[in-house]
Amino acid sequence: MSEHTQNQENYWKANVRLIFGCLIVWALVSYGFGILLRPMLAGIEIGGTDLGFWFAQQGSIISFIILVFFYAWRMNALDKEYGLEE
Q: Residue 84 pLDDT > 90, yes or no?
A: no
Q: Residue 60 pLDDT > 90, yes or no?
A: no
pTM, two decimals, is 0.80
pLDDT tens per residue across span 61-80: 889 999 999 999 999 999 99
pLDDT for 20: 97
Interior/surface letters 47-86, b for 16+ CB within 10 angstroms, e for the rest: eeebbbbbbbeebbeebeeebeeeeeeeeeebeeeeeeee
Average pLDDT over residues 46-57: 81
